Amino acid sequence: MPLKSLIALSAVATALLSAGLALAQEPIQPIALVQDINLAQVELGKKLFFDPRLSKSGFISCNSCHNMSMGGSDNLKTSIGHNWQQGPINAPTVLNSSMNVAQFWDGRAADLQEQAGGPIANPGEMASTHALAIDVLASIPQYRIEFNQVFGTGEIDIDKVTLAIAEFEKTLVTPNSRFDRWLMGEPVITEQELAGYELFKSSGCVVCHNGPAVGGTSFQKMGIVKPYQTENKAEGLAGVTGKDVDRFKFKVPTLRNVELTYPYFHDGASDTLAEAVDIMGRLQLGRTFTDEENAMVVSFLKTLTGDQPSFALPILPPSTDQTVRPTPFE
């Protein structure tokens, strides 16, 4: 090998090594690729995620509010449920949600499987029942066959349904954001973005927004330094623990793909990242960011948009003459 090439190689190795060292010291880690997964469950879960027959109306699927075309969210302040009911809280993104310490803003579901059963039977959301949803699925031979292939039995129950949905959701990670590529040594972020990251760390944002998901690992009070003004009725963690000290504590949302998951906060009250950063600074950190600082942080946050999950829209098996029909208007 010519000397020039050896020197070049050595420079690359040194850069990667120092990137590796730097990486270990950063409070945010790159999103790991999905490795251990049950692919058969994923493919079944993908169908179920897109199947509106899990709702009473036959119109609302998991994807309605966790829209995979729109950052795994619905981009609405609060969601639209059965009979156009206004939901009580902003729909969190399903992207990277497997990294959350618990599910829902108040953490009332321990994991993705437990979460998946909630909206199906929530009268304000999909408004079905687990019994009805299972009845519908069990009337469809292609589903019975696929459940049999996946679970070794065609007996469908809600645990198998939610397990498959959760397994699909575990694949919804967004690696290769520019920020992650920078963490791994590629010079793909600008000076402004880097300055935004430094400010994000030095001003204390990173205390809560850390780890691979840049959040999702703890519950924190909304309005630490100054109270948060909202008409939203959500009580947060207190609704789960019954403790007054947990009032207004919410799961810290992931900031991955935050460019796509507007509007922000549990009440969806902030339409823009600039406003959200301003409010967070003042209410959580007691710090008013200048316009320039705000723009720096926002530019950093936009480097957190990763590869969106890409897959073929699933084709659903048709209902049969025996399938209970949806009743949207009853």
Residues designated catalytic: 125
Q: Is position 315 an interface residue for a copy of itself (rule: CB under 8 A)? A: yes
Quick one: 237 or 273, whose CB is closer to a copy of itself? 273
CB of 75 to a copy of itself, least distance (A): 6
Residue 80 C-beta: closest distance to a copy of itself, Å: 5
Report yes or no: 23 and 162 within 8 Å, Cβ to Cβ: no
> For residue 286, how many C-alpha atoms fall within 13 Å in the half-sphere facing its CB?
2
Q: Which residues contact 111 (CB under 8 A, 6 or more apart)?
A: 102, 103, 166
Q: How far is the CB of 46 from a copy of itself (least distance, A)?
A: 10
197 binds a copy of itself (CB under 8 A): no
Q: Do 161 and 48 meet the contact criterion of CB atoms below 8 Å apart?
A: yes
Q: Are 139 and 322 in contact (CB under 8 A)?
A: yes
Q: Which of 10, 272, 286, 288 binds a copy of itself (CB under 8 A)?
A: 272
Q: Which of 52, 175, 185, 223 binds a copy of itself (CB under 8 A)?
A: 52
Query: CB of residue 172 vs a copy of itself: minimum separation in angstroms?
Result: 12
312 lies in the binding site for a copy of itself (CB under 8 A): yes
Element of type H or E holding 251: strand 249-251
How far apart CA 69 and CA 310 sit, in angstroms, is: 9
| Residue (of 316, 327, 322, 315) closest to 136 by Cα position | 322
Of 117 and 263, CB closest to a copy of itself: 263
User: Closer to a copy of itself at the Cβ: 72 or 117?
Assistant: 72
Q: How far apart are CA 97 and CA 187, in angstroms?
A: 28
Which of 155, 186, 198, 271 touches a copy of itself (CB under 8 A)? 271
Is residue 291 a contact point for a copy of itself (CB under 8 A)? no
Tell me the closest approach of the beta carbon of residue 87 to a copy of itself, in angstroms: 10
H/E element holding 121? helix 112-121
Q: How far is CA 117 from the centre of its chain?
A: 17
- 83 is an interface residue for a copy of itself by CB under 8 A: yes
Q: How many angstroms from the chain centroid is the CA of residue 76?
A: 15
Where in 53-82 is the site for a copy of itself (CB under 8 A)? 53, 57-59, 64, 67-71, 74-76, 80
Contact 189, 303 (CB under 8 A): yes
Instruction: By CB under 8 A, name the binding residues for a copy of itself.
Output: 50-53, 57-59, 64, 67-71, 74-76, 80, 83-84, 86, 259-260, 262-263, 271-274, 308, 310-316, 318-319, 321, 325-326, 328-329
